[in-house]
Structures are given as C-alpha cells and as structure tokens.
Amino acid sequence: MLADVQSQVKIERSFANSVEQLLSRVEYRRAETASDLDAILRLRYDAYLKEGAISPSEAGRLEDAFDDVENAYNFGVFIDGELASALRLHPLSDTQQRSPALETFGDVLLPELRACKLILDPNRFVASPRLSRLHPGLPYVTVRLTILACVHFGIDLMTMTVRLEHQAFYKRAFFAYPVCPPRPYPLLSKPISLLFLDFARDGEKVVQHRRYWGSSHSEREALFGRGPTSKRLQASTGPSPLAIRARDGVGLDLPTLELAAPSIAAAR
C-alpha cells in the first residue's frame, strides 16, 4: 500500500515537472487583430469537426456572436511559436452582459449575478490534436488562463460548460461540482453540462494543488489589464502587439486571491 502511494506521488511530481517545462516554452497571445482571431477560429473549427461536435463548413472557421460582445477575451496559446490551443473568456458582472453559458444556463446564472456574484465563463477551449499528443500538459497550461483571470477579476464562481464524459477532468483539476445536467449549446451538436468552481471558497486550494497555476501581478495585468480583446479587435488591423511569455514578471503570487480589477469588482 505504501509503495503504491509513493509511486503515485512520484508520477504526479513527474507530470508537474513536465508541465513546468512546457510552460517555459509557452506564450499567451491576445487576439487583437483580425488575423489573430482568424487563426483561432480555424483551430476551433478543426478541433470541433474532428470530435463530431459540428457539421462541415466551406468557411473552415467556427465563430459566433459571442466573439463580438463587449466582455470577450480571446487568447491563443503558442508553443515554440506555433498555435497549440485557444480559449475564450467572458467575465460577467451584471445581467445585461452576454456569454454562451449565460444564454444556455440563464436560469442558474442569473440568480447568482443578481446576488452580486462575479462569474467567469470560459468557453471554446480547443487544441491542436497533433500538439496535444506531443504535449500531455497542454490542457493544464491552457486552462491556467482561467485561474489567472479569476485572480485578476476577483471572481466568485467559474463555469465549466463541458460534455458529460469530460466532467471528471474538471472535478479532479478544479474541485468543480455539477449544477445542471446536459442541455443543447450554441452551434454544437452534442449537449453540454454545467459545473461550478466556487473560486471564492476553493481558489486557494486549486492554486496550491497545482503550483504552476501561480502567476505574477505583471503577467495578469499584461493579459487582462488592457480590457477585452473584442473592443481592441475592432480598432486594430496591424500585427498583434502583445505576446505574453508565461510567467513574465517578477516572482509568483500564491495565491494573491485578494487582487481584483476595480473596473469589474466595483460592480458588486
């Protein structure tokens, strides 16, 4: 029995070390130009088509109305300069804002917003199948963006809108719990379930459990302090001005959960 426990600890440490090494090769790039977003939309299409979640399209891109709303943040995750995965984030602070989870699970989320909870809705998490096979830690460096956003915005609840068969990952990694069974979801052919991470309660435990999810204030500010990528996208056509090397800045804050962006936290 003791040997089994020790073996498991060694496996977990080895995997954590591999994620740390991968993180040193990662850049998070804000989608601030049309070409930035186009690359993400094509990766989305390829990933969803491969798993049978959408029907083929001549456009070869998967976009929706939530890319243009005022609270949308789109990011690409690059390994050694190659787009490996992408993620979109929607911070929610009032009932007038929009996000995919709010549209699908409004009966669950609207009461939380009316109770002055700050919510983060991460969505459109996609990855290159080839790079996913090469880098098993890719999901962890990608969802790290959600932890950084929770700290930056002072989030109370984070949504996980996932297929039923993917719940185990989020329960294990985020101590998430299901709050609604699967429902139809925008543009997808397969139903999606809703889980919550109570970040106000469990955020410190989540970060301490996987210390590579720690971050510096300067890294978070560079990623989110400039405001939503949706607004900048409308005014920018040149090369993307910002690529954030993972863990840029001095030192790591673990967990510094008291930090929040005044612009959204003030809405409480």
pLDDT in tens, 9-26: 455 678 889 999 999 999
Contact 43, 128 (CB under 8 A): yes
Distances (CA, A) of 207 to 44, 49, 57, 255: 28, 33, 39, 6
Domains of the chain, by residue range, sit at: 20-265
Confidence (pLDDT) at 166: 86
Q: What is the pLDDT of residues 195-251, one digit of tens each?
A: 999 999 999 999 988 889 999 999 999 999 999 997 666 555 444 545 666 655 434
Cβ-in-10-Å burial (0-12, 13-18, 19+) of 221 comes to middle
- Residue 85 Cα distances to 35, 77, 125, 126, 248, angstroms: 16, 5, 7, 5, 19
DSSP type of residue 215: B
CB contact at 8 A, 67 and 103: no
> Strand pairing partners for 122?
89
- Give the homologous superfamily in CATH for domain 20-265: Gcn5-related N-acetyltransferase (GNAT) (3.40.630.30)
- Confidence bin at 254 (pLDDT 50/70/90): very low
Q: What is the torsion angle, in degrees rounded to the nearest 10, for the CA atoms of residue 165, residue 37, residue 128 and residue 196?
A: -20
- Residue (of 37, 132, 146, 22) closest to 84 by Cα position: 132
Residue 4 has pLDDT above 60, yes or no: no
